[in-house]
Chain A
Amino acid sequence: MKASESRHSILWLLLAQLSAMLPLIAVLPVWIVAVWGASAWWYWRIISAGYQFPAAPIKALLAVAAVLGVYLSFASLLALEAMVAILILALILKLLELKTERDQWLVLMLSYFVIACGLLFSQQIIDVVLALLQITVLLLAQQAMNRDKTKAVIMLRSVGVMALQSLPLMLMLFVIFPRIGPLWTMPLPGGQGITGMSDSLEFGDIARLSQSGELAFRVRFEGEPPSTESLYWRGLVLDQFDGRRWTRNAWPARNKIPAPAVSAATVKYTVTLEPALHEWLYVLPMGTVDRRDVYYTTQHQWLSKRPINGRVEYEVSSQFVNGLPDGNGDERQNLQLAGGQNAQARALAAQWQENIADASDRVAAAMQFFESTPFEYTLTPSVLGPNNVDEFLFSTRQGYCEHFAGSFVFLMRAAGVPARIVLGYQGGEFNKRDNYLLVHQSDAHAWAEVWLKGQGWVRVDPTATVAPSRIRLGAEAVLKSQSGYLKDSFISLRRFEWATRLRLFVDNINYAWARWVLNFDSDTQASFLRGILGEINPQRMFIAIMLAGGIPLTLVAFFSLRLPSQKGEDLAAKYYLLSCKALARRGVQRQAGETPEQFLARVKVESPSWFDWLAMQTKLFSECSYYSQQSEAYLQNLQKLKRFRRPRKWLEQTSRRGLER
């Protein structure tokens, strides 16, 4: 390879490297770009200005410094981001020992791997589009390594053709390649960054969560969806109170019971959960989840046997009931109240306990209290001190749903009624374009459940009495005017109609992407294959693979076997003979034994009007067929020969030129 050509391919290589790592800048420390810039500059000086490759000690020093830098930036080397950072630094520093073609290949292949790593962080459709663009740059670099200096457009064309040729294979592999479970799991990135529900609750938590516009999950209903008011997406139950924080008592929470039997009158739907770090599933009570790796607990929660790591999809059949049965609802756990704070509230509850005999009447009295007191439903309530329930109920009176639910449960327990907090989401946003429900973090909600003898756990939502529109219309309707609502999210553009429509459209694509591509796990694969094959056994798989893989390969073989004969076929001669045929139709017949030059000489005498055209065609043909074969000139001549194989075309062009003149 000539120096200038190798430089051309080196430039492409550097570009490919940069494009592979650039989108990862979002999760990586910025100084990596500086390292790349310095390394690339150094390498460029090595190949263009005769600088030396660094000596081994310097390289070792750089490697140690890089690892140290990563450690300082992430405070750990075992986080996924840190590992990717080390990979990228290795890729960058490889430039300083890029001596052979094999090294260049290594850099290119590693760049592909870096692109794949980028998809660990996010797999939205936009990321995939970006990855495709990056791969295009890499493919171009790969082309540049393997051919003479060529225009990018030409390389792009051949890259495109090759990519299209490999598409069927890719699709086939996507469908039939076995989905192997992960050999190890990495703490998924974003655990810190993405807001989501945690398994404990303090006043203000949900209010904070509501300010995020992140998607929590999507739901597709079979048939008519229920009304928004009834959509209480029950997540987990908090029954342990330490005077300030609500947490869950680990033991009863995990007691398995058989899944509830749901009758025929059910709502069926599919939930697609966004990646999150928790083990509970959101279900409309009472429902059964159609999955093998989940179980049902005494608290009527659906828990996953393994932590949910990545996107999960599950099908649920739900039946709306008024009480969740539980024989032991009145055990001490559900009446437990820590410490001696919140004396005022305790006194109020003691009053109810004394005056009202029936538990359900005490609940009604509490609801009456919430209704009659002028509470303010707000995202930005005042910060509360140690007697938080008292302060909220009797002085600040500003709160979000967890304030109402929390203090309600406190009052109930103090009044001797077993009660607990339920965390989940309420409502959601319908995407009318594709008719599915989007539940965002801003729909997060906390409500209460009280245990009534004979009925079991009954849902009570004090927020509904304070701010009925929150339940009827959703959080958005109530909070739109409040300054804190969705303040850190770009969906604050919600106030514009077009923006909402655009957002829902994009979400449509993302949902389809998540449903059909990202969620194509071994279960989906098995059911898909079962749908095609009837049953999965080795013989049928073999036949399917032969059909799916054999047909494309046969086509490829057919075309590649055909190609030599096509090459053997002299295209120049073909077009020249077509030209002669065209002329024969106009009355000048070429004899088989006539050479092109002889024919041209005869035409000059017999029908001079065609002479100019035939002279051009003869010249092009001679250049293609008899002169030395210069690849590019040959192709150009051939193109021209083909274009003007009929004199009409040529006449049109010359007459046009004549007119222009």
Chain B
Amino acid sequence: MDIFAQLTAEISRVVLGKDEQVRQALCCLLARGHLLIEDVPGVGKTTLSQAFAKVTGLSYQRMQFTSDLLPSDILGVSIFDRNSNAFHFHAGPVFTQFLLVDEINRASPKTQSALLEAMAEKQVTVEGETRILPTPFFVMATQNPWFQSGTFPLPESQLDRFLMRISLGYPDEQSERRLLAGGDPRLVIDELRPLLNAEKIIALQAMVDKIEIRDSVLSYVQRLIAFTRQDSHYAFGLSTRAALALIQAAKAWAMLDGREYVLPDDIQLLLEPVATHRLKPAADSHDDGPDLIKRLLSQVPVVV
């Protein structure tokens, strides 16, 4: 059994029936992206992220975002040390390899943007001094759907910084029954073995870059983004960064599949997690996210 299958198997001891999402999270990590999990409370978002952090063997920090959180609470702050008569920087929780941000949309936009900058640049600037974040740096954020109360929805530009947005959904009947019967899954998390470490993940990320993607697939990606820009059902088209993200994710996905090249199937499979949060239906359209993706998949020819 290869390492990815082992990983998935290990995590599914805690998160039952969510193999697909586990795989997507792994793909996200290997593609050097960040993951946004959006769902109602209580379906296992936090459990998944904890299990994931444990199994990947990365240093782990968890933050609960609230409306009164300040940027310095994330990034760190310099405090005057009386003994040495100087300011000393106290690193915030962002200085870690695996950062779990719970309920990111509860924080104020100012705080959100502080984090999002760190995610994009992989470095933070505090009081005029630039500090490099550890590598790998992987953020897994959860948020409640925007229709829930007390939220500041992330603007499009910031959503764009997440490679993927996935949702977990309610577990199927069997898995739920097993969950209910099994007692508190959090107890099991402590038993999980770390199967990877930082070096291995960096090596795997480098391998992703070597996955081949041929012109025929690239032109399919171009057709996809061109379609969103021309079709009247979309408020605005996908950005070039979105296309880059799609390709990077597809490469990682191909590697997870044990292939050295990208198939259009990879693109199709990843289109929903990668593109849904970057698309918006046109004002006069009654489509929602999944409809927009379905439209893309069915209308854009794979082979021309």
Chain A: CB-nearest residue to B216: A625
In the complex, whether B16 has a CB less than 8 A from a CB of chain A is no
Which A residues are CB-close (under 8 A) to B265?
Answer: 595, 597-598
A570-B216, A595-B268 as given contacts; A628 in contact with B302, CB under 8 Å: no
A622 near B303 with CB under 8 A, answer no
Among B260, B268, B303, residue most surrounded by chain A Cβ atoms (within 10 Å) = B303
**Nearest CB on B from A201, distance (A):** 84
A628 near B261 with CB under 8 A, answer yes
CB 8 Å contact bits of B212-239 with A (1 = contact, 0 = none): 1011110000000000000000000000
Which B residues are CB-close (under 8 A) to A577?
Answer: 303-304
In the complex, whether B292 has a CB less than 8 A from a CB of chain A is no
* Stretch in A455-463, A492-500, A586-594 with 4+ CB within 8 Å of B: A586-594
Among B215, B217, B296, residue most surrounded by chain A Cβ atoms (within 10 Å) = B215
Which B residues are CB-close (under 8 A) to A591?
Answer: 298
Give the residues from 582 to 632 in chain A that come closer than 8 angstroms, CB to CB, to chain B: 591-598, 621-622, 625-629
Separation of A471 and B174 alpha carbons in the complex (Å): 121
Which A residues are CB-close (under 8 A) to B216?
Answer: 570, 572-573, 625-626
Which A residues are CB-close (under 8 A) to B260?
Answer: 628
B263 near A593 with CB under 8 A, answer no
CB 8 Å contact bits of B287-304 with A (1 = contact, 0 = none): 000000000111111111
B262 near A626 with CB under 8 A, answer yes
Which A residues are CB-close (under 8 A) to B109?
Answer: none
Which B residues are CB-close (under 8 A) to A628?
Answer: 212, 214, 260-261
Which A residues are CB-close (under 8 A) to B296?
Answer: 593
A594 near B214 with CB under 8 A, answer no
**Nearest CB on A from B230, distance (A):** 16
In the complex, whether B264 has a CB less than 8 A from a CB of chain A is yes
Separation of A148 and B215 alpha carbons in the complex (Å): 25
B303 near A629 with CB under 8 A, answer no
In the complex, whether A232 has a CB less than 8 A from a CB of chain B is no
**Nearest CB on A from B228, distance (A):** 14
Chain B: CB-nearest residue to A625: B216
Separation of A243 and B266 alpha carbons in the complex (Å): 109
**Nearest CB on B from A630, distance (A):** 12
A592 near B299 with CB under 8 A, answer yes
A626 near B261 with CB under 8 A, answer yes
Which A residues are CB-close (under 8 A) to B212?
Answer: 627-628
Which A residues are CB-close (under 8 A) to B217?
Answer: 625-626
In the complex, whether A576 has a CB less than 8 A from a CB of chain B is yes
Separation of A594 and B220 alpha carbons in the complex (Å): 12
Separation of A628 and B302 alpha carbons in the complex (Å): 19
Which B residues are CB-close (under 8 A) to A592?
Answer: 298-302
B214 near A626 with CB under 8 A, answer yes
Separation of A51 and B124 alpha carbons in the complex (Å): 65
Separation of A584 and B169 alpha carbons in the complex (Å): 38
CB 8 Å contact bits of B264-284 with A (1 = contact, 0 = none): 110010000000000000000
Which B residues are CB-close (under 8 A) to A594?
Answer: 302
A626 near B300 with CB under 8 A, answer no
Total interface residues in chain A, CB < 8 Å:
21
Among B260, B296, B304, residue most surrounded by chain A Cβ atoms (within 10 Å) = B304
**Nearest CB on A from B302, distance (A):** 5
Separation of A646 and B303 alpha carbons in the complex (Å): 18
A596 near B214 with CB under 8 A, answer no
CB 8 Å contact bits of A184-195 with B (1 = contact, 0 = none): 000000000000
B304 near A593 with CB under 8 A, answer no
Separation of A625 and B213 alpha carbons in the complex (Å): 10
**Nearest CB on B from A185, distance (A):** 62
Chain B: CB-nearest residue to A629: B214
Separation of A573 and B303 alpha carbons in the complex (Å): 6
Which B residues are CB-close (under 8 A) to A595?
Answer: 263-265, 268, 302
Separation of A446 and B264 alpha carbons in the complex (Å): 93
Give the residues from 270 to 289 in chain A that come closer than 8 angstroms, CB to CB, to chain B: none
Chain A: CB-nearest residue to B294: A593
**Nearest CB on B from A623, distance (A):** 10
**Nearest CB on B from A423, distance (A):** 80
Which B residues are CB-close (under 8 A) to A629?
Answer: 214
Chain A: CB-nearest residue to B300: A593
**Nearest CB on B from A629, distance (A):** 7
Which A residues are CB-close (under 8 A) to B303?
Answer: 573, 576-577, 580, 596, 621, 625
Separation of A595 and B260 alpha carbons in the complex (Å): 18
Separation of A597 and B268 alpha carbons in the complex (Å): 12
Give the residues from 56 to 97 in chain B that come closer than 8 angstroms, CB to CB, to chain A: none
A626 near B301 with CB under 8 A, answer no
Which B residues are CB-close (under 8 A) to A625?
Answer: 214, 216-217, 303
A593 near B301 with CB under 8 A, answer yes
Chain B: CB-nearest residue to A628: B212
Among A595, A596, A625, A626, residue most surrounded by chain B Cβ atoms (within 10 Å) = A626
B302 near A593 with CB under 8 A, answer yes
**Nearest CB on B from A594, distance (A):** 6
Which A residues are CB-close (under 8 A) to B268?
Answer: 593, 595, 598
Give the residues from 107 to 128 in chain B that come closer than 8 angstroms, CB to CB, to chain A: none
Which B residues are CB-close (under 8 A) to A627?
Answer: 212, 214, 261
Separation of A375 and B138 alpha carbons in the complex (Å): 123
A577-B303, A626-B263 as given contacts; A593 in contact with B214, CB under 8 Å: no
Give the residues from 173 to 228 in chain B that come closer than 8 angstroms, CB to CB, to chain A: 212, 214-217
Which A residues are CB-close (under 8 A) to B298?
Answer: 591-593
**Nearest CB on B from A264, distance (A):** 78
Chain B: CB-nearest residue to A624: B216
**Nearest CB on A from B187, distance (A):** 41
**Nearest CB on A from B281, distance (A):** 19
Which A residues are CB-close (under 8 A) to B301?
Answer: 592-593
Which A residues are CB-close (under 8 A) to B299?
Answer: 592-593
Separation of A241 and B264 alpha carbons in the complex (Å): 102
Among B265, B300, B301, B302, residue most surrounded by chain A Cβ atoms (within 10 Å) = B302
Which B residues are CB-close (under 8 A) to A572?
Answer: 216
**Nearest CB on A from B264, distance (A):** 4
Separation of A221 and B72 alpha carbons in the complex (Å): 113
A593 near B261 with CB under 8 A, answer no
Give the residues from 40 to 56 in chain B that come closer than 8 angstroms, CB to CB, to chain A: none
Separation of A591 and B297 alpha carbons in the complex (Å): 10
Which A residues are CB-close (under 8 A) to B304?
Answer: 570, 573, 577
Which B residues are CB-close (under 8 A) to A597?
Answer: 263, 265
Chain B: CB-nearest residue to A594: B302
B297 near A593 with CB under 8 A, answer yes
Which A residues are CB-close (under 8 A) to B264?
Answer: 595-596, 626
Chain B: CB-nearest residue to A627: B261
Which B residues are CB-close (under 8 A) to A576?
Answer: 303
Which B residues are CB-close (under 8 A) to A580?
Answer: 303
Separation of A576 and B260 alpha carbons in the complex (Å): 22
Among A591, A592, A598, residue most surrounded by chain B Cβ atoms (within 10 Å) = A592
Which B residues are CB-close (under 8 A) to A596?
Answer: 264, 302-303
Separation of A593 and B267 alpha carbons in the complex (Å): 12
Which B residues are CB-close (under 8 A) to A570?
Answer: 215-216, 304
Chain A: CB-nearest residue to B304: A573
Separation of A596 and B265 alpha carbons in the complex (Å): 8
Which A residues are CB-close (under 8 A) to B214?
Answer: 625-629
Top 8 A-B residue pairs of the complex, sorted by shortest distance between their CB atoms: A592-B301, A625-B216, A593-B298, A595-B264, A595-B265, A593-B297, A595-B302, A573-B303
9 A-B interface contacts by CB (under 8 A)? A592-B298, A592-B302, A595-B265, A595-B268, A596-B302, A598-B268, A626-B262, A628-B212, A629-B214
Chain B residues with a Cβ under 8 A of chain A: 212, 214-217, 260-265, 268, 296-304
New contact pairs (12) apart from A592-B302, A625-B303, CB-CB < 8 Å: A570-B216, A576-B303, A580-B303, A595-B264, A596-B264, A596-B303, A598-B265, A621-B303, A626-B214, A626-B217, A628-B214, A629-B214
Chain A residues with a Cβ under 8 A of chain B: 570, 572-573, 576-577, 580, 591-598, 621-622, 625-629
